[in-house]
Structure 1
Amino acid sequence: MLRDDLKAAQIQAMKDKDKERLNAVRLILAKVKDRDIELRTSEAAGDDDALVIDVLQKMAKQRRESITMYNEGGRAELAEAEEKELAVIEEFLPAQMSEEETTAAIEQIKADTGASGMKDMGKVMAELKARHGTELDMSKASALVKASLS
């Protein structure tokens, strides 16, 4: 399980005295625990790895946005710190689909659902997330779906 991998990485970072990695892994575990607390009231627990992957994807997206803002603002040292955290986060994410694989998946979903125009974008995006949500950056996939349907 992904959660066990994170705990093992935390222990290894402590043994290696790697403070930056340890801080990043602790941050990930804290976010996962926050999500666990949020979900205590819901009935459906769902897949644990999917929950952790969702948290990791959101954290990665936040880091990418921060890196862009810091670079635009001339704060290279802060951007570098974010890049290091992003590298640790991406270690635990499953391999992401390439643009070609994503396009092929979109075309398959269009064929399966009979989607033909922009009015079907929501249907295609929902199915894409259901089938490949853990392997995709949905913001990038959104642009590909829009291009495919227009």
Structure 2
Amino acid sequence: MFRSVQRIGLPVGRQTAARWYSAPTVTINARLKADLKLSMRAKEKQRTTVIKGVLSDILYAEKNPQSQTFSRDSDEDVALLIQRAIKQRKESIKQYTDGGRADLATAEQAEVEILGQYLPAQLSEEDIERRVKETVERLGVSGIKAMGQVMKEVAISAAEAPKSKVAAAVKKALGA
């Protein structure tokens, strides 16, 4: 039995019946680790540095006693970390361009593109607004005071869209 498993590339001796019959899902963390090995072998310094930084952030968030709910196997948690890293780099790009350092801005932009490859498919503005409108209509609320209730009920994970975009769509839908 294990020889047939070995032929399809799955690790031998560590299989459960459920894993053997279904294709394993790959988490963002696992993709990062695999890509780190590949980038190190290909001697891609910038990609290696970016991936090591994200893996370091993941490890820090996991060990941090204040973030008790973080899990490296949760794509949503890891996507939030990657979104935070992208946001920091975009702020750096703005500062570099204001300071006349186009070379550093292009390097940061390349890092943003590398990080963007690990995010799940992001929702468009129209999709976010459509989901928010459906939620507002389902709840039958209006006014800015209902924003908290709508934010709790809207079915958009943080991995699909940044919370700031969702909050802006909720404000727009509530007429604030």
TM-score over 0.5 for the pair? yes
Alpha-carbon displacement from aligned partner over 1:7-34 (angstroms, at most 9, x marks no partner) = 0010010111100110011011011111
Q: Cα–Cα, structure 1 residues 29 and 109, in superposed 2: closer, same or farther, change >3 Å?
A: same
- Partner of 2:97, secondary structure, is helix
Deviation at 1:73, TM superposition (A): 2.2
Q: Cα–Cα, structure 1 residues 125 and 11, in superposed 2: closer, same or farther, change >3 Å?
A: same
- 2:170 matched to which residue of 1? 145
The structure with more radius of gyration: 2
Higher helix share: 1
- 2:157 matched to which residue of 1? 132
Displaced runs of 4 or more, over 6 A: none
Q: Please give the residue correspondences for 1:11-30 in structure 2 after superposition, counting only pairs within 5 Å.
A: 11-30=37-56
**Normalization by structure 2: what TM-score?**
0.76
> 2:49 is matched by which residue type in structure 1?
N
**Normalization by structure 1: what TM-score?**
0.88
RMSD after superposition: 1.9
- The equivalent position to 1:70 in structure 2, one of 82, 93, 96, is 96
In 2, the alpha carbon distance for the partners of 1:139 and 1:39 equals: 26
Q: Cα–Cα, structure 1 residues 70 and 45, in superposed 2: closer, same or farther, change >3 Å?
A: closer
Identity %: 35
**How many pairs does the alignment contain?**
148
Higher relative contact order (CA 8 A, sep 6+): 1
